[in-house]
Amino acid sequence: MRFGMGYDSWTGGPGMGGRGRHGGPRGPRGRVLGGDELKLVLLALIAETPRHGYDLIRAIEARTGGAYAPSPGVVYPTLTLLTDMGLIGEQASEGTRKLFAVTEAGTAQLTTDAPQVSELFERLAALGEHRARTDAGPIHRARANLRAAIHHRLSAADVDTETLHRVAAILDEAAQKVERL
């Protein structure tokens, strides 16, 4: 049995399915992973070590550098489906969380779909790398600091025209430096 038979925009042809028709990094309705892709990712993570649902969500989030974490409303039904398919099974665990382990059928499935699994993990890693390159958090923090400093300085009682011109010159110089990057 193979997961997915839809269009694979990762390779540009038939295959894993679940990708957006416009070729973006997210699939239908903004999904990072289609249903069949999520099945493979969860199965592969469970094959690494037995895990419970919350741990799987955190493992995917870690592999994407925090850029993506599937919702429990998607993960838990998928785990139920994988269990019903005989690809994973529940293990005894402490507490109320269900611990899942891969079955022989699950291992065979992963062997069959090894290239797709590898591509999925590469895609998740690329998503994390993209987020690291484009994380605007430090910019937002610096802009907020600048705004607060300007507000504080210009609301002081001793602000004169010369101070206003000096602040404007500093801001102009900073803007020019950013443009030259």
Whether 163 and 113 map to the same domain: the answer is no
Banded pLDDT at 21 (limits 50, 70, 90):
very low
- Same-domain check for residues 103 and 144: no
Predicted confidence band at 67 (pLDDT cuts at 50, 70, 90)? confident
Both 165 and 80 in a single domain?
Answer: no
Whether 56 contacts 72, CB under 8 Å: no
C-alpha distances out from residue 10 to 25, 63, 86, 170, Å:
9, 18, 28, 46
Range of the domain at 167: 136-180
Half-sphere exposure of 13 (CA within 13 A, CB side): 2
How large is the average pLDDT for residues 62-69?
86
One domain for residues 99 and 151: no
Evaluate whether 9 touches 20 at the Cβ level (below 8 Å): yes
Are 130 and 147 found together in one domain?
no
Regarding whether 110 and 70 lie in a shared domain, the answer is yes
Residues 41 and 111 placed together within one structural domain of the fold:
yes
Torsion of CA 92, 95, 100, 103, to 10 degrees: 0
Helix axes 104-112, 114-134, angle to 10 degrees: 70
CATH code of the domain containing 87: 1.10.10.10
Instruction: For residue 49, give the DSSP letter.
Output: S
One domain for residues 44 and 95:
yes
Q: Are residues 85 and 151 in the same domain?
A: no
Q: Is 90 helix (H, G, I), strand (E, B) or coil?
A: strand
Return the closest-CA partner of residue 55 out of 36, 35, 75: 75
Asked if 151 and 116 sit in the same domain, the reply is no
Q: Give the SS3 label for residue 48.
A: helix
Say if residue 112's pLDDT is above 70: yes
Does residue 53 sit in the same domain as residue 109? yes
| 18 assigned to some structural domain | no
Pair 77, 102 in one domain: yes
Give a yes or no: residue 3 inside a domain.
Answer: no
Is pTM beyond 0.85? Reply is no
pLDDT band at 110 (very low <50, low <70, confident <90, very high): very high
115 in a domain, yes or no?
A: yes
Residue 168 lies in a domain: yes
What gap in Å lies between CA 76 and CA 54, rounded to an integer? 9
Integer-rounded Cα Rg, in Å, for the chain is 24
Least confident of 10-24, 53-67, 163-177: 10-24
Tens of pLDDT along 121-136? 999 988 888 777 776 6
Higher-confidence position of 58 and 24: 58
Q: How many domains does one find in the chain?
A: 2
Per cent of the chain over pLDDT 90 is: 45
